[in-house]
Amino acid sequence: MSIQDYINSLDERSRQVLFAVIESYIHKPEPVGSRFVTKKYPMGFSPATIRNIMADLEELGLLTQPHTSAGRVPTDRGYRYYVDSLLKPESSVPRDPYAEMMRDFARRIDAIKNDLTVLFHEVTDTLSQMSNYVGVVLPPKPAKTVFSRIDLMKYRDGNVVALLLMDDGVIRNKVIKVDPELTQDDLNRIAEYLNGEFHGKTLDEMTEMLVRLMHDEKALWDKMISRAIEVCNQTLRFSGEDLYVSGLYDAMDLPDFSDINRIRQLSRAIKDKHTILRLLDEFANTEGVHVVIGRESSASELQNLSIVASSYRDGGRPAGVVALIGPTRMDYSKAIVMVDTVAHCISQAFDEHR
Amino acid sequence: MSIQDYINSLDERSRQVLFAVIESYIHKPEPVGSRFVTKKYPMGFSPATIRNIMADLEELGLLTQPHTSAGRVPTDRGYRYYVDSLLKPESSVPRDPYAEMMRDFARRIDAIKNDLTVLFHEVTDTLSQMSNYVGVVLPPKPAKTVFSRIDLMKYRDGNVVALLLMDDGVIRNKVIKVDPELTQDDLNRIAEYLNGEFHGKTLDEMTEMLVRLMHDEKALWDKMISRAIEVCNQTLRFSGEDLYVSGLYDAMDLPDFSDINRIRQLSRAIKDKHTILRLLDEFANTEGVHVVIGRESSASELQNLSIVASSYRDGGRPAGVVALIGPTRMDYSKAIVMVDTVAHCISQAFDEHR
DNA sequence: CATTAGCACTCACCTCTACTGAGTGCTAAC
DNA sequence: GTTAGCACTCAGTAGAGGTGAGTGCTAATG
């Protein structure tokens, strides 16, 4: 019988004690003693009994002691058990306290769902304000979004403004350089050609087509086409995938970040976004709420941090991810409800949208 | 004779000592003792003499002691004197070490000067990376920029994408809601009308005109005009003035921010941008580099912070501001050179641009 | 008369010690 | 199986003493 098996077969008493320790510690970040448990979570046993149980839980790696004569503190594995086995009956999580906020939220995002940038900023702001953790949104992969149209307008010098509209609302404008000889009429013809060519394609397909076109003979003798390819090529050169983040400032006030190094760690994790990006990306095609606790993610940047994430859907299919990043000592039940609800709100907003 | 007069008439010795203390303290944030000064900045006096001079400087409020038996530390007033009287002969500031970087910088911004958003991000990034302070850019007041053209494109549902081009490169796109009956042809006519009406106007003048138009009789019977007004009204509703900021993460590594409260203070100052915005705004119409040290700005948020700022010009006239925000214990000479040089680079990029 | 050597003094900082109290593990009794 | 009792551990605090960097003052010096 492996440790995992032992953990899975915890008896009710042990579960109660573990639950008590974790809830208490989440409420107030101080090691929890046996006497304290008997007082605040009375279950008819003396401190000595609780001590025995706690010792068992420590042996299983669910709790640990900061030092010999201190109370117990949950380990990452402890939180994991808490999240998986103690919170799972989701009905027990009280959604009501947030219902009001969420109705309000749903109303607000309804008004701005046309502009994804504004929408996602609103989402991260709301998430972080409500939770005091760091709110994150992974926007839909632009590569998977469907081309709607491109417009080209002459600007100053030899510059042209390219406006790229995608079907789901991702709008991008970019100043590109072209042959200054081109007139607006030329540009219109180029845009028209591109609109026809790329109609209904995803960005991925577009770039693929572009590569093919560039080797096509037709492009060699038709100047207009070769120019169109050039324009398109410039426009599609993206600023890379981005991530909406907010709430670092509020999170800094959490007791978990009273240590300067913890703050640095958190901000570093947020600063070079690709760690988080890679992690969230894994959830982009899944359903439901996921929780990653501390070292569970192999990324060392996230050692003392946990992530609660859920994908949201656009037209039934998973599109992007919303998440909360906080300390491992996180109010998981609260965070899970929030992330879940917000994800649903977004999915719903998208659905009404089409 | 006021204290200020005494300060202005410091003799050479005192100036030398003050200079030594401040330079040393900027180099390493530890109280500077008399013995240390005689060793590292030999000027032919014994520690005792230096002590007497230091006592005088303290009486004038230029230095202070953290506690009785510690060395001296500069006060805000001390830094002020240092900046005004000891650094002013600008020729003494060595520009060379940065010359290389700056050439590089000039080349880089040359490539992106068409897109102000990208440009300003690049500027704050460069400033903060080179200095380890927080780089800030106040973009040109959109209200003062000159209208170039507006384009309207039908999007999904009853939505329209409005693309607003301004003469200096501020480009803004916005999804607005209009009467779904409007065809693309209608939109084109509306845009044409607006382009004619607003040609060469600033945003300020545009809003003004808009108010006037809305009370004009013509608007009442010409449906096209009234729609145009509506569209324009929606488009001009801005997301408010913004501020480009970057470098908080790097600044956190400065010893000045090893105290958690200092970090919180700094991030709070950056978070609600309007304090900084108001401060920088004062410099928007001035020339040259300005330095605000600690409490000199009445804003309590900036107590332990200093700002080195300079306006940059667009077409000869001051347009916006670049700045560095750091601890009062800042390397002012370095910061001043950087801000000054960067401001010049931007001005130059704009000039070549027209 | 400016400068300096000498000296007493101050005070942050470090270390050592002792004490306290919260909490534990173990064992024997219930 | 549960619990009372007890010895033990250890972080945290407070006080005492020593150290050293630095000062202010005064009297001697050139």
Structure tokens given for B81: 């004197």
DSSP tag of A72: B
| B51 or B182, higher pLDDT | B51
Mean pLDDT, all residues of chain A: 87
Of chain A, the percentage scoring pLDDT greater than 90 comes to 49
DSSP tag of A133: S
Q: Which residues of B44-79 are buried (b: 16+ CB within 10 A; e: fewer)?
A: ebeeeebbebbebbbebebbbeeeeeebbbbbbbbb
Least confident of A126-140, A338-352, B151-165: B151-165
Contact at CB, B175 and A153, closer than 8 angstroms: no
Mean per-residue pLDDT for B211-215? Answer: 83
Q: How far is the CA of A48 from the C1' of C29 (A)?
A: 14
Whole-number Cα distances in Å, A260 to A69, A118, A255? 26, 32, 11
Per-residue model confidence (pLDDT) at position A94: 59
Per-residue model confidence (pLDDT) at position A84: 92
CB-to-strand C under 7 Å, chain B 56-115: 66-70
Binned at pLDDT 50, 70 and 90, residue B219 comes out as low
CA distance B298 to chain A (A): 23
Contact B327, B335 (CB under 8 A): no
Q: Of A135-139, A198-202, B1-5, B204-208, which has the strongest mean pLDDT?
A: A135-139
Q: How far is the CA of A48 from the C1' of C28 (A)?
A: 14
Q: Is pLDDT at A160 greater than 70 in this prediction?
A: yes
Per-residue model confidence (pLDDT) at position B241: 65
Binned at pLDDT 50, 70 and 90, residue A242 comes out as confident
Per-residue model confidence (pLDDT) at position B86: 78
CA distance A65 to chain B (A): 26
In sign, the C-alpha dihedral spanning A271, A272, A278, A284 is positive
The shortest CB-CB distance from B252 to any of A259, A264, A354 is to A264
Residue that the structure tokens 């700002």 belong to: B307
Closest CA to A152 of B62, B163, B327: B163
Q: Which of residues 289-348 of A touch B (CB under 8 A)?
A: none
Closest CA to B335 of B130, B103, B76, B122: B130
Binned at pLDDT 50, 70 and 90, residue A96 comes out as low
Helix (H) or strand (E) holding A192: helix A184-198
User: ∠ at Cα B343 (B341, B346), nearest 5°?
Assistant: 110
Determine whether the distance from the CB of A69 to the nearest atom of strand C is below 7 Å: yes
How many other β-carbons are positioned within 10 Å of the β-carbon of residue A333? 18
Mean pLDDT, all residues of chain B: 87
Per-residue model confidence (pLDDT) at position B126: 93
Binned at pLDDT 50, 70 and 90, residue B95 comes out as low
Q: Is pLDDT at B251 greater than 90 in this prediction?
A: yes
- Identity of the residue numbered A344: H
- Identity of the residue numbered B201: K
Q: Does B1 touch chain A (CB under 8 A)?
A: no
Q: What is the CA radius of gyration of chain B?
A: 26
Binned at pLDDT 50, 70 and 90, residue A153 comes out as confident
Nucleotide nearest A70 (Cα, C1'):
C23
Q: Is pLDDT at A324 greater than 80 in this prediction?
A: yes
| A259 or A5, higher pLDDT | A259
Closest CA to A166 of A212, A111, A234, A235: A235
Structure tokens given for B223: 């449906």
Whole-number Cα distances in Å, B224 to B148, B160, B228? 21, 16, 6
Per-residue model confidence (pLDDT) at position B178: 82
Q: How far apart are CA B38 and CA B50, in angstroms?
A: 8
Contact A135, A247 (CB under 8 A): yes
Q: How far apart are CA A258 and CA B261, in angstroms?
A: 9
Contact B89, B26 (CB under 8 A): no
Which among A166, A173, A237, A261 is the top mutation candidate for probing chain B, defined by the most B β-carbons within 10 Å of its own β-carbon? A173
Instruction: Quick: pLDDT tens for B158-192.
Output: 788 888 888 877 778 888 888 888 888 999 998 99
Instruction: Quick: pLDDT tens for B258-300.
Output: 888 899 899 999 988 889 999 999 999 999 999 999 999 888 8
Per-residue model confidence (pLDDT) at position B28: 95
Q: Give the β-pairing of A147-154 and A134-138.
A: unpaired
Determine whether the distance from the CB of B211 to the nearest atom of strand D is below 7 Å: no
Mean per-residue pLDDT for A225-243? Answer: 78
What SS3 string covers chain B? Answer: CCHHHHHHCCCHHHHHHHHHHHHHHHHCCCCECHHHHHHHCCCCCCHHHHHHHHHHHHHCCCEECCCCCCCEEECHHHHHHHHHHHCCCHHHCCCHHHHHHHHHHHHHHHHHCCCHHHHHHHHHHHHHHHHCCEEEEECCCHHHCEEEEEEEEECCCCEEEEEEEECCCCEEEEEEECCCCCCHHHHHHHHHHHHHHHCCCEHHHHHHHHHHHHCCHHHHHCHHHHHHHHHHHHHHCCCCCCCEEECHHHHCCCHHHCCHHHHHHHHHHHHCCHHHHHHHHHHCCCCCEEEEEHHHCCCHHHCCEEEEEEEEEECCEEEEEEEEEEECCCCHHHHHHHHHHHHHHHHHHHHHHC
Instruction: Quick: pLDDT tens for B323-344.
Output: 999 999 999 999 999 999 999 9
Per-residue model confidence (pLDDT) at position A338: 93
Burial bucket for residue A94 (CB in 10 Å: 0-12, 13-18, 19+): exposed
Q: How far apart are CA B5 and CA A350, in angstroms?
A: 69
Binned at pLDDT 50, 70 and 90, residue B350 comes out as confident
Q: Which residues in chain A have their CB less than 8 angstroms from residue B271's CB?
A: 249
Contact at CB, B252 and A259, closer than 8 angstroms: no
Mean per-residue pLDDT for A69-77? Answer: 94
Q: What is the three-class DSSP state of A312?
A: strand
Per-residue model confidence (pLDDT) at position B106: 85
Which chain B residue's Cα is nearest to A251? B264
Of chain B, the percentage scoring pLDDT greater than 90 comes to 49
Q: Is pLDDT at A58 greater than 80 in this prediction?
A: yes
Per-residue model confidence (pLDDT) at position A71: 92
- Identity of the residue numbered B12: E
Least confident of A78-82, A314-318, B22-26: A314-318
Domains present along chain B, CATH in parentheses: 3-86 (1.10.10.10), 91-141+242-353 (3.30.450.40), 143-236 (3.30.390.60)
